[in-house]
Chain A
Amino acid sequence: EVVLTQSPDFQSVTPKEKVTITCRASQSIGGSLHWYQQKPGQSPKLLIKYVSQSMSGVPSRFRGSGSGTDFTLTINSLEAEDAAAYYCHQSKSFPHTFGQGTKVEIK
């Protein structure tokens, strides 16, 4: 099973700051890495698929990058509405797995 480890677990950030969340896989997953945003009481929302492909309607401040075992979600110029938990997900091999999540709080 591929283990995904996100860092940090928690980040408190001032609006307009840049946020960087990393996701490290226990083995190479190529480009089969996706990112989700989850706000309290809501289902996860797909932000970015296959490392860097942004979903329709996702603000351009969200960017994904990486390959192999190391991946990054960057939020440029954080806005108040970005307060949420963020999860990575690998679909390279079964069982699919998720990172433990990174909670982003607005200062």
Chain B
Amino acid sequence: QVQLQQWGAGLLRPSETLTLSCAVYGESFSDFYWSWIRQSPEKGLEWIGEINEIGRINYNPSLESRVTMSIDTSKNQFSLKLGSVTAADTAIYYCARYYGSGSYSLAYWGQGTLVTVSS
């Protein structure tokens, strides 16, 4: 059974960089895309982007200028960085995996990390 365990700083000041990581347990890291999604009362669920094991990436254009995703296959982990955060980036951030190779429904989710941006 695939499990995703995420962690990262929960309180940031404006202009800082959000950094979150997600560890994958229970299955091979290969052959899948790994995603980040965030959720806020203002914007609802927002897809941030995805990365696969060879570093192929797709970002949401609305965040692309500030987002960096990376992957460490040796540790079965992938990470999200979001630069120059503002209060509008306050949200619960989730890591997730699609159901299967070629299937783009989000079947596996991390537990979520509440990130608050406040001065």
A and B physically associate: yes
Give complex CA distance A34, B104 in Å.
Answer: 9
Task: State which of B61, B104, B106 has its C-beta within 8 Å of the C-beta of A44.
Answer: B106
Contact of B111 with A49 in the complex, beta carbons under 8 Å? no
Contact of B104 with A32 in the complex, beta carbons under 8 Å? yes
B101 close to chain A: CB less than 8 A: no
Task: State which of A1, A34, A98, A100 has its C-beta within 8 Å of the C-beta of B105.
Answer: A34
Give complex CA distance A55, B60 in Å.
Answer: 27
Contact of B109 with A100 in the complex, beta carbons under 8 Å? no
| Residue of B59, B62, B104 ringed by the most chain A CB atoms within 10 A | B104
Task: State which of B94, B104, B107, B111 has its C-beta within 8 Å of the C-beta of A55.
Answer: B107
Given that A49-B99, A95-B60, A95-B62 are contacting pairs, would A87 and B107 also be in contact in the complex, using a CB cutoff of 8 Å? Answer: no
Given that A43-B111, A87-B45 are contacting pairs, would A96 and B104 also be in contact in the complex, using a CB cutoff of 8 Å? Answer: yes
Q: Size class of B's contact patch?
A: 20 to 34
Contact of A95 with B47 in the complex, beta carbons under 8 Å? yes
Contacts of A1 in B (CB 8 A): 61
Contact of B44 with A36 in the complex, beta carbons under 8 Å? no
Contact of B44 with A100 in the complex, beta carbons under 8 Å? yes
Contacts of A87 in B (CB 8 A): 44-45
Given that A43-B94, A43-B111, A44-B45 are contacting pairs, would A94 and B106 also be in contact in the complex, using a CB cutoff of 8 Å? Answer: no
